[in-house]
Amino acid sequence: MSEEAPPIQGVCPPKFQAVRDQFEAHLASGGDLGAGFAIAVDGELVIDLTGGWADRRHDAPFGPRSLVSIFSVTKAATALMMARLVGAGRLDYGAAVASIWPAFGAAGKENITVEQALSHQAGLSGFIEPMEPVEWFDHDAICAKLAAMAPLWEPGTASGYHPLTFGVIADEIHRRVDGRSVGTALREDIAGPLGLDLWIGLPETEHHRVAAIQRPSELPVFGDMTPALKAAFLTRWATIGGKRLDGWLVHEFPSAGGQATAAGLARMMAAMACDGLVGETRVLASGTAAKAGAERISGRDLVLPFDVSWGAGFLRNPPNFFYGPDARTVAHSGWGGSCAFADPARGISGAYVMNKQSNALIGDIRPRRLIDAFYAAL
């Protein structure tokens, strides 16, 4: 085990010294093991910091090429790919899911729209009936379960966070419209051409770059037990399992299986901050980002212990304002602390990734401090 901490790497202009100081303080205090924080303005990186350790033994430094499991921040990438279909005129947010995927219309789900499914209103937060955790690796089998399932609440009346089923539904819609999975399209159309270190389905050749995750010492704090919450998080099969880590990395889980750097995520989110542009490359048709980020539902979520506002797959900044000061900002957080956000009022996008998880579901204090320090310096 090495005792001397590796130096912080990357760029951070003197104007944003408070951001670097906060980033360094997290590492020095043990609040972070290894982490990355990046900010892009108009799609170009202005801050890109990495530091700490990629493993608990302190043998491998956490550097610019260290990949992190971003868990539910993956949903932001998936929502972006769905928005891309909408902007191209190939998908309508207001269309019934069953018009694209006929079997989905069973058991009272015939009127659920694409935007309701993407804003966690479908009533399918997880499965009540027992199953083996390894079944999550069988996309077709999970789709069949969802198609046959009756909603746990009346669709369209409330949001109830869908930790894993969100990605299955979105991916099946994407496959039926585009012919490719979300992960394949992301790699071929956006991440590959733009050089973004962002993956849903990580090739084995890249596995050596993945930082080891240190799990939180405490479970998240949930609200009162409800069927929606139990199905989402509190059964043995609510979590994917039954295969080794390399199986998890290779398989495409568009809800929670993404691997990324902070820089890759920050530049991806520029498409939502800059009316579809990442630098000079148009990723979304003009106007699509605003359409994707528009509120579909707000209020107390039936699964997350928060009042929330959902766009079409994106978590909107009000009423919690975890992602800076602007009400138009859209974002997503991941289990344990990671997040990515886009501020269209200023053309700013950013991301935080780390390999030491907290028990925060959303709103982890570490990225909030970094984001607040950045905005204070503007």
Any idea what the CATH number is for the domain that residue 262 is in? 3.40.710.10
Q: Is 331 part of a structural domain of the chain?
A: yes
Query: Would you say 309 and 316 are in contact if contact means Cβ atoms under 8 Å apart?
Result: yes
Query: Would you say 44 and 241 are in contact if contact means Cβ atoms under 8 Å apart?
Result: no
Confidence band for 204, pLDDT divided at 50, 70 and 90: very high
Residue 206 reports pLDDT greater than 70: yes
Alpha carbon distances (Å) from 313 to 59, 80, 83, 319, 322: 38, 8, 9, 17, 17
Q: Which residues contact 82 (CB under 8 A, 6 or more apart)?
A: 91, 114, 118, 170, 173, 174, 182, 292, 312, 313
Q: How far apart are CA 254 and CA 236, in angstroms?
A: 21
The pLDDT of residue 217 is: 86
DSSP SS3 for 300: strand
Q: Is 120 part of a structural domain of the chain?
A: yes
Residue 245 reports pLDDT greater than 90: no
Confidence band for 218, pLDDT divided at 50, 70 and 90: confident
**Considering only CA atoms, which of 272, 369, 366, 285 is closest in space to residue 315?**
272
**Considering only CA atoms, which of 265, 257, 253, 216 is closest in space to residue 364?**
216
Three-point CA angle 282, 285, 286, nearest 5°? 100
Among left, alpha and beta (phi > 0; psi -120 to 50; other), residue 179 is left
Compute how many other C-beta atoms are within 10 angstroms of the C-beta atom of residue 109.
25
As a whole number, the mean pLDDT across the chain is 97
The pLDDT of residue 131 is: 97
Residue 334 reports pLDDT greater than 90: yes
Q: What average pLDDT score do residues 234-253 get?
A: 93
Q: How far apart are CA 260 and CA 268, in angstroms?
A: 11
Residue 148 reports pLDDT greater than 60: yes
Q: What average pLDDT score do residues 173-181 get?
A: 98
Q: Is 44 part of a structural domain of the chain?
A: yes
Instruction: Look at 173-177, 219-223, 276-280 and tell me which has the smallest mean pLDDT.
Output: 219-223
At 255, the amino acid letter reads S
Residue 34 reports pLDDT greater than 70: yes
Q: What average pLDDT score do residues 264-269 get?
A: 98
Q: 88 lies in which domain range?
A: 9-377
Burial class (CB in 10 A: 0-12, 13-18, 19+), 5: middle
Token output for 61: 């430094």
Q: Is 2 part of a structural domain of the chain?
A: no
Q: Is 106 part of a structural domain of the chain?
A: yes
Confidence band for 3, pLDDT divided at 50, 70 and 90: low
Residue recorded with tokens 């966690």: 120
The pLDDT of residue 367 is: 98
- Report percent pLDDT > 90 for the chain: 94
Q: What average pLDDT score do residues 249-264 get?
A: 97
pLDDT digits (tens, 9 = 90+) for 273-326: 999 999 999 999 999 999 999 999 999 999 999 999 999 999 999 999 999 999
**Considering only CA atoms, which of 354, 279, 297, 325 is closest in space to residue 93?**
297
Q: What is the DSSP letter of 53?
A: B
- Report percent pLDDT > 70 for the chain: 99
Q: Is 74 part of a structural domain of the chain?
A: yes
Compute how many other C-beta atoms are within 10 angstroms of the C-beta atom of residue 250.
15
**Considering only CA atoms, which of 365, 331, 315 is closest in space to residue 161?**
315
pLDDT digits (tens, 9 = 90+) for 66-96: 999 999 999 999 999 999 999 999 999 999 9
Domains identified in the chain, total number: 1
Q: Is 3 part of a structural domain of the chain?
A: no
Q: How far apart are CA 378 and CA 375, in angstroms?
A: 5
Residue 1 reports pLDDT greater than 80: no
Taken as a whole, the chain contains a residue count of 378
Q: What average pLDDT score do residues 103-113 get?
A: 98
